[in-house]
Amino acid sequence: MNSLITPATQLVDRFGRQVRYVRLSVTDRCDFRCVYCMSEKMTFLPRDQVLTLEEIGRIAHVFTELGVEKIRLTGGEPLVRRGVLELVDYIGSLGLRDFAMTTNGSQLPHMAKALKAAGLKRLNVSLDSLDADKFRRITRIGDLNKVLEGIDAAREAGFERIKLNAVVMRGRNDDEVLDLVELARERGLDISFIEEMPLGHISDHTRDETYCSSDDVRDIIETRYSLSPTSTQTAGPSRYYAMADSDSQIGFISPHSHNFCGDCNRVRVTVEGRLLLCLGNEHSVDLKEVLRQYPKDNEPLRQTIIDAMDLKPEKHHFTTDGDVQIVRFMNTTGG
């Protein structure tokens, strides 16, 4: 989005970056256990540490007043949170330019229609493999068919420009890159390929063992299709490419190989109410305390968010050398 024609935001950091995009995590729980995201046995947060849906709604409202134009709901798996449709309905009424959700798709067969009716504008569905056994190995418990049905249900419900997200791991699913591109082309979807990020201690593999750069993925795709850069900007970290004979766009999210911090316009709020100024740093501000101390007054929350902008770091510090730099898991961070 061209910042010259958008209204002023009150959220500007020390490096002049305007924050217009917030990712809100609505739960740390999930019905999958993806190997790159969680350990096999996870302990989830006790209920009193988790924001209520009303509290998440208040945060969304205040961010919108401060100039945020795009909200994405994520998790954990956002669709396993009870009552999430009411939250979608509320945030859908705030007049955002873009309102999206990232989901593993497993609940879409029965929820896609209701999400659309509640005002959700866009969906990203995570899908790393089209082989049912491999899909099960990566997600540990997921059912590929449910996700494929979910994607169809979302298309039938009228969602446009649905985007697939695939984390590519060498030796696990890098042989499926072209199959995933074919699926996107057949069903009129966009697809982003993500480099794995070192969030949380995982037991399945070391991150350097499976690291596959976006350039490697692009080389694989270019064995079949030539890719030309597009001017598409979505306020997210993807760089997009087009194929000559298809509407499907291919994105790359490359935290390692193409540091995306320079034009970062995003912050995240965890389901515990921690405002995270950067995915790859531990800087955070506790919004839950402010919300609970002032249940009827949004002004202190507003001021806390404005002041927090000064803490936004210049860039993340991910490496693939196997060391965990960030101890929180992606499901608690809000991917």
Sign of CA dihedral 30, 33, 34, 36: positive
In contact, 78 and 26? CB cutoff 8 Å: yes
Please select the residue that binds ligand SF4; options are 57, 58, 68, 76, rule is CB under 6 A. Answer: 76
Residue tagged 């009411």 (tokens):
86
Q: Applying CB under 6 A, which part among 2-10, 179-187, 196-204, 273-281 lies near ligand SAM?
A: 196-204
Contacted by 129, from ligand SAM, ligand SF4, none: CB < 5 to 8 Å by type? none
Please select the residue that binds ligand SF4; options are 13, 55, 69, 77, rule is CB under 6 A. Answer: 77
How does DSSP assign 66-121, residue by residue? TT--EEEEESS-GGGSTTHHHHHHHHHTT--SEEEEEE-STTHHHHHHHHHHHT--
Q: Choose between 197 and 261: whose C-beta lies nearer to ligand SAM.
A: 197
Query: Site mask, ligand SAM, residues 97-116, x = CB under 6 A?
Result: -----xxx------------
C-alpha distances (whole Å) from 167 to each of 25, 78, 143, 145, 302 are 19, 19, 17, 19, 35
Please select the residue that binds ligand SAM; options are 84, 194, 243, 264, rule is CB under 6 A. Answer: 194
Q: Is 207 exposed, middle or buried (0-12, 13-18, 19+ CB in 10 A)?
A: buried
Contacted by 38, from ligand SAM, ligand SF4, none: CB < 5 to 8 Å by type? ligand SF4
Contacted by 192, from ligand SF4, ligand SAM, none: CB < 5 to 8 Å by type? none
- For 30, residues 6+ apart whose C-beta sits below 8 A from its C-beta are 38, 75, 76, 77, 80, 104, 331
Query: Site mask, ligand SF4, residues 29-48, x = CB under 6 A?
Result: -x-xxx--xx----------
Of 213, 169, 173, 164, the closest CA to residue 191 belongs to: 164
Q: Choose between 59 and 108: whose C-beta lies nearer to ligand SAM.
A: 108
Using rule CB under 6 A, residue 331 touches ligand SF4: yes
Using rule CB under 6 A, residue 165 touches ligand SAM: yes
How many chain residues bind ligand SAM (CB under 6 A)? 19
Q: Which residues bind to ligand SF4, rule: CB under 6 A? A: 30, 32-34, 37-38, 75-77, 104, 126, 330-331
